[in-house]
């Protein structure tokens, strides 16, 4: 009976992985086929839905291979290493956040969960959809602090998003003259500024509070609501991060390192494609695109990210050909997809264990 259960557990996960990978590759092939149609001057919109599907699988694989072979192998390999480095840095940051909540998760277990989440990021909306699954597994790792474990995932994501938004705004201010003469980039910069304010406000309310400070009875009213005790416990779990400045600072520092590595991934691909664009320009454009692609608009930001790179890079002030900008984006996604395949393999053999242990909280927590 146990053997049948184990076989079934692997089998249904294999089917899920296969279906998700099929959907991901179909989306990529569809995008590649559309680009091929446009290069030939043909009207893609005139094709029926069945015609587009046929073109995707007939033309898409060859077009994707052509895109991959545009870049020099050494630079492609370096970009692949950069993606892996971002996953590892993300694991280190999450473990910092877990420690602030008084929880301990072994590095290898945190890496397993993060790789599985990275796999699911490839088809869920935005570039952070896998956090839902990461939160689920974090909760399953503990019997005693499920709420606190889930909160660490979203606190980790908030810190990461805020750091990337702050990183982007800093680089935008450093390129203010260019931004003012680049209308699409100026519009994107305004959106980034709004996102930074919203994210900063959310962090402030979650980590340090607001209403309950001005109105002491707010928490009493909150506890009287349906699921009020859970909401109150969630807020208490969030407040831990506001009190632990050292861990919060460490998490922000790791996020900034992660941001730099993200930019270096694209810079490596650009070198491999022979694009003559300064590294300083990549530090401007890449964070802007990553921030906007994180919005839950398209699965894994696919399509949105490609269009942003084409619009921002093909502008005369930067001068990257539209085809090269599209290739750059697809190559970057290919590197992320390669690590998603690793996450898919981990998911096939993933065992749900309960070993998230409580640790002694640091002073001030």
Distance CA 319, CA 248 (A): 39
pLDDT band at 362 (very low <50, low <70, confident <90, very high): very low
The answer as to whether 64 is a domain residue is yes
Out of 28, 49, 69, pick the residue that ends a domain.
Answer: 69
Same domain as 254, residue 140: yes
Region 114-140: mean pLDDT is 75
Beta strands in 107-213, from DSSP E residues, in sequence order: none
> Tokens in use for 144?
């005693």
What pLDDT score was predicted for residue 289?
94
What pLDDT score was predicted for residue 356?
60
Q: Which domain holds residue 30?
A: 1-69
Please name every residue paired with 104 in a beta bridge, in sequence order, or none if there are none: 357
Out of 38, 69, 100, pick the residue that ends a domain.
Answer: 69
Q: How much is the pTM?
A: 0.78
What pLDDT score was predicted for residue 218?
57
Q: What is the pLDDT of residues 185-226, one digit of tens each?
A: 999 999 999 999 999 998 988 888 766 655 666 556 555 555
Residue written as tokens 């680049």? Answer: 182
Q: Which uninterrupted H or E stretch holds 360?
A: none
The answer as to whether 216 is a domain residue is yes
The answer as to whether 363 is a domain residue is no
Instruction: Collapse the DSSP code of 103 into the 3-class scheme (helix H, G, I; strand E, B; otherwise coil) and give the result.
Output: strand
What pLDDT score was predicted for residue 280?
93
The answer as to whether 207 is a domain residue is yes
pLDDT band at 5 (very low <50, low <70, confident <90, very high): low
Same domain as 292, residue 159: yes
Total domains in the chain come to 2
Same domain as 249, residue 111: yes
Same domain as 183, residue 266: yes
Same domain as 101, residue 12: no
User: What's the mean per-residue pLDDT of the chain?
Assistant: 81
Same domain as 191, residue 229: yes
Distance CA 28, CA 64 (A): 8
Whether the Cβ atoms of residue 203 and residue 241 lie closer than 8 Å to each other: no
pLDDT over 80 (residue 9): no
Q: What Rg do the C-alpha atoms of the chain give, in angstroms?
A: 22
What pLDDT score was predicted for residue 6?
61
pLDDT band at 360 (very low <50, low <70, confident <90, very high): very low
Same domain as 174, residue 236: yes
Out of 69, 85, 111, pick the residue that ends a domain.
Answer: 69
* More reliable by pLDDT, 225 or 5: 5
Distance CA 339, CA 119 (A): 8
Same domain as 110, residue 124: yes
Same domain as 23, residue 84: no
Cβ count near 269 (within 10 Å): 28
Helices 279-293, 146-174: crossing angle, 10 deg rounding: 140
How large a percentage of the chain has pLDDT more than 70?
Answer: 79
The answer as to whether 336 is a domain residue is yes
Same domain as 217, residue 252: yes
Same domain as 62, residue 112: no
Q: Can you say how many angstroms the Cα of residue 163 is from the centroid of all Cα atoms in its chain?
A: 13
The answer as to whether 364 is a domain residue is no
Question: Highest mean pLDDT: which of 140-144, 202-206, 320-324?
Answer: 202-206
Whether the Cβ atoms of residue 352 and residue 219 lie closer than 8 Å to each other: no
| Pick from 85, 1, 3, 58: nearest CA to 265 | 85
Q: What is the pLDDT of residues 226-256, one digit of tens each?
A: 555 666 667 778 888 888 888 889 999 999 9
């Amino acid at each position: 009976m146990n053997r049948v259960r184990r076989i079934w557990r692997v089998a249904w996960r294999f089917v899920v992985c296969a279906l998700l990978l099929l959907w991901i590759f179909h989306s990529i092939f569809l995008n590649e086929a559309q680009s091929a149609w446009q290069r030939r001057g043909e009207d893609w919109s005139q094709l029926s839905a069945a015609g587009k599907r046929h073109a995707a699988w007939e033309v898409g694989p060859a077009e994707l291979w052509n895109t991959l072979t545009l870049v020099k192998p050494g630079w492609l390999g370096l970009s692949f290493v950069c993606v892996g480095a971002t996953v590892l840095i993300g694991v280190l940051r999450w473990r910092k956040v877990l420690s602030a909540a008084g929880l301990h998760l072994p590095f290898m277990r945190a890496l397993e969960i993060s790789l599985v989440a990275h796999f699911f990021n490839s088809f869920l909306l935005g570039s952070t959809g896998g956090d839902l699954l990461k939160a689920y597994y974090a909760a399953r790792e503990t019997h005693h602090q499920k709420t606190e474990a889930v909160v660490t995932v979203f606190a980790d994501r908030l810190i990461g998003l805020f750091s990337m938004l702050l990183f982007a705004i800093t680089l935008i201010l450093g390129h203010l003259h260019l931004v003012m003469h680049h209308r699409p980039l100026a519009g994107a910069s305004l959106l980034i500024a709004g996102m930074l304010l919203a994210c900063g406000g959310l962090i402030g309310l979650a980590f340090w509070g607001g209403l309950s400070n001005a109105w002491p009875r707010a928490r009493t009213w909150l506890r009287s609501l349906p699921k009020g005790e859970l909401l109150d416990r969630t807020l208490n779990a969030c407040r831990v991060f506001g009190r632990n400045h050292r861990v919060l600072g460490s998490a922000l520092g790791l996020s900034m390192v992660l941001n730099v590595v993200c930019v270096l991934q694209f810079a490596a691909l650009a070198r491999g494609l022979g694009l003559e664009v300064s590294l300083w320009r990549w530090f401007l454009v890449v964070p802007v695109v990553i921030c906007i692609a994180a919005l839950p608009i398209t699965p894994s930001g696919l399509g949105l990210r490609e269009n942003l790179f084409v619009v921002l890079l093909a502008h005369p002030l930067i001068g990257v050909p539209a085809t090269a900008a599209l290739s750059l984006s697809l190559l970057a996604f290919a590197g992320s997809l390669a690590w998603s395949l690793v996450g898919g393999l981990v998911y096939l053999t993933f065992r749900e264990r309960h070993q998230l242990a409580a640790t002694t909280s640091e002073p001030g927590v």
